[in-house]
Chain A
Amino acid sequence: MIVDLLLRLLARLLPPLARIRYLEEWRADAAGAAEAGLSRRDVLLGAAALSLTLDRDLPAHSGEARGTLPRRLARRGFALAAAAVVILFGSYFTGGGIVPQGEAATAGVVAALQTAGWLVLRLAVLLAVIAALYLAGAARVAATRTASVTLLAAILGPALVLAAALVPGLPAWLSAVGFLVIVAALAGGIVVLGGSMPIGLKDRTAVRRRRVPVAVLGAAAVIAVVVVGAIDLLVWNPEAKVPGTDLATIYALMASRDGFSLTTTAVLIGIWALFWSLAALIVLAAAAHPRAAALTPRRLAIVLLGLVGGAIFFRFFAGFGIGMSIADSFMTSGGDVSVVSAVLPYVGQLALAGAAVAFGWAPRLAPRQPAPA
């Protein structure tokens, strides 16, 4: 009974098309093991070895052209790694997350944001681990040794850099070795991509009624971020930086002490807002166009999530002037401290991470064929 259960579990590790065949074969072998003078344990060990070594890229097992599986695994691995890197960089740039101040920053809000920061950071670590597993899987089934070594280098390089940065006591040169391995992986990647036989690309299309809702939702998200972000830069953040003072007084003091010009600042922020809003509206218009069938919901999501992340990242530059003016006028730090300023970086990181993951999770080229009888 236990052997049968373990055989079923091992069969679950096989590609779906190979699963039924090998499970029946193993169960028959286990049932007749004594007849052959062997033990059921032998069958179990054999099944375990086969589940590890089976050629998963074989068309009969994968239901796809050879080479499709390692490419898909590698693409997903790199997408997850990119998502992890985006979040980790975001966390680094915001010093582990902005801690809000001001009247709106109640203890509950601060605690909620700290929890969000904790969760997002762990999400990045989880994504990095899953990315390494995907890349290792791709390395295992890759058709050439160059591809396998390149993929393993893509895991090893960042791992060495991270280890050197996070584990105390490790030599500093480990980081340099890690960067060298990353460069080697990049060079190997160019060689592998340049020398690979292209797999026929499938024309993915979507009808208008599937495109437009996604585009509307995405454009609305971009515009919402832009509007909220602009108001925050001009109103909520100055009020949070100088609590107890009304906005008109804040602006007047900034003008007198630092030569602050509200018009110039509003124009700069307006250019930022207009740029990203227009970009979102152009995507929306393109999605609504009858001949834009190639803009599938996934592709629209990638672009629009990218726009959300981009708008939030470049908000830093749009708000740099007013932030420095507040700092110089009131002898505070230049960093944003409003609740919105604390929330938006997480939104941006998750949006860019989502775009990366959506990019990696392209639909299969062809549906799996039914399992042979």
Chain B
Amino acid sequence: MTPLSRLTPATIDVLRVLLDDGAAVWGMLVIKRTGRPAGSVYPILERLENAGWATSSWEPDTDRSGPRRRLYALTSDGGEAARSAVARFETRAEPATRASRATRPGRPARVARFTPAGARA
């Protein structure tokens, strides 16, 4: 597993979804639960997979015909790294959120975007 060159808020969102779900998640559900555009999520999933944080596999046999869905899950090392990355991100984001709330009341806090996806779904 290699460290990620950059951990963007979108990457943290994707990591949260994969952490929350625990099991392998269909790529489209990752897009839906993060609320991020596919143009952002697809490259992130590819980067996580290439770096060894996540792994992907075709869905097991289903009754559905046609092309198979690709499911994504964190690797064991990737899971640990993801938890650590999310925690670090939240630690950094928290003071910024408080400052934002203090100086700009009424405006939505930027960190609200990074609340666990499960809470929004």
Residues of A within 8 A of B (CB): 21, 24-25, 27-29, 31-33, 35-38, 42-43, 45-50, 53-55, 58, 60
CA distance A60 to B49 in the complex (A): 11
**Chain A interface helix/strand/loop/mixed:** helix
The 7 closest A-B pairs by CB, nearest first: A46-B38, A49-B39, A36-B28, A46-B42, A28-B67, A25-B70, A27-B67
A42-B37, A55-B46, A55-B47 known; A28-B68 Cβ under 8 A: yes
Question: Is the beta-carbon distance between A45 and B39 smaller than 8 angstroms?
Answer: yes
Seen from chain B, the residues whose Cβ lies within 8 Å of a Cβ on chain A are 26-29, 31-32, 37-43, 46-47, 50, 66-70
Q: 12 extra interchain contacts, Cβ-Cβ under 8 A, other than A42-B31, A60-B50?
A: A25-B67, A31-B66, A32-B26, A33-B28, A36-B29, A42-B38, A43-B38, A46-B31, A46-B41, A46-B42, A47-B42, A54-B43
With contact pairs A31-B66, A31-B67, A42-B37 given, residues A50 and B42 touching in the complex (Cβ less than 8 Å): yes
| Residues A45 and B27 in contact, CB atoms below 8 Å apart | no
Residues of B within 8 A of A35 (CB): 28
Report how far A60 CA is from B42 CA in the complex, Å. 17
In the assembly, what is the distance between CA of A35 and CA of B47, in Å?
26
Closest to B31 in A: A38
Query: What chain B residues lie within 8 Å of A36 (beta carbons)?
Result: 26, 28-29, 31-32
Pairs A–B under 8 Å by Cβ, sample size 16:
A24-B70, A28-B70, A29-B27, A31-B67, A33-B28, A36-B26, A42-B31, A45-B39, A46-B31, A46-B37, A46-B39, A47-B42, A49-B39, A50-B43, A53-B43, A60-B50
Q: Which residues of B contact A33 (CB under 8 A)?
A: 28
Which residues from A are CB-within-8-Å of B39?
45-46, 48-49
- CB nearest neighbor in B for A58: B50
Nearest chain A residue, comparing its CB with the CB of B38: A46
Find the B residue at minimum CB distance from A61: B50
* Identity of the chain B residue whose Cβ is nearest the Cβ of A23 in the assembled complex: B67
| Known A25-B27, A38-B32, A55-B46: A49·B38 in contact at CB below 8 Å | yes
By a CB distance below 8 angstroms, the chain B residues around A54 are: 43, 46
Q: Cβ of B69: which chain A residues have Cβ within 8 Å of it?
A: 25, 28-29, 32
Name the CB-closest residue of B to A46: B38
Within the complex, the shortest CB–CB distance from B67 to chain A, in Å, comes to: 4
Which one of A32, A42, A46 has the highest number of Cβ atoms from chain B below 10 Å of its Cβ? A46
Residue of A nearest to B58 (CB): A24
Q: What are the residues of chain A within 8 A of B28 when measuring CB–CB?
A: 29, 32-33, 35-36, 38, 43
Q: Could you say which residues of chain B place their CB within 8 Å of the CB of A25?
A: 27, 67, 69-70
How far does the alpha carbon of A49 sit from the alpha carbon of B26 in the complex, in Å?
18
How far does the alpha carbon of A368 sit from the alpha carbon of B115 in the complex, in Å? 43
- In the complex, the chain A residue whose C-beta lies closest to that of B45 is A50
Q: Closest chain A residue to B30 by CB distance? A: A36
What residue in chain B is nearest A42 (Cβ atoms)? Answer: B38
Least Cβ–Cβ distance between B41 and chain A, in angstroms? 7
CA distance A37 to B29 in the complex (A): 9
B72 → chain A closest CB, angstroms: 10
| Most chain A beta-carbon contacts within 10 A, residue among B27, B42, B68 | B42
CB <8 Å contact, A24 and B43: no
Residues of B within 8 A of A49 (CB): 38-40, 42-43
Q: How far is the CA of A53 from the CA of B45 in the complex (A)?
A: 12
Chain B residues near A43: list those with CB within 8 A. Answer: 28, 38
Closest CB in chain A relative to B89 CB, distance in Å: 22
Shortest CB-to-CB span from B55 to chain A, Å, is 12
A58–B50 Cα gap in the complex (Å)?
Answer: 8
Q: In the complex, which residue of chain B has the Cβ closest to the Cβ of A59?
A: B50
Minimum CB–CB distance from A246 to chain B (whole Å) comes to: 76
Docked-complex contact A45 and B67, CB < 8 angstroms: no
Contacts of A32 in B (CB 8 A): 26, 28, 69
Chain B residues within 8 Å of A53, by CB: 43, 46
Which chain A positions have C-beta within 8 A of B37? 42, 45-46
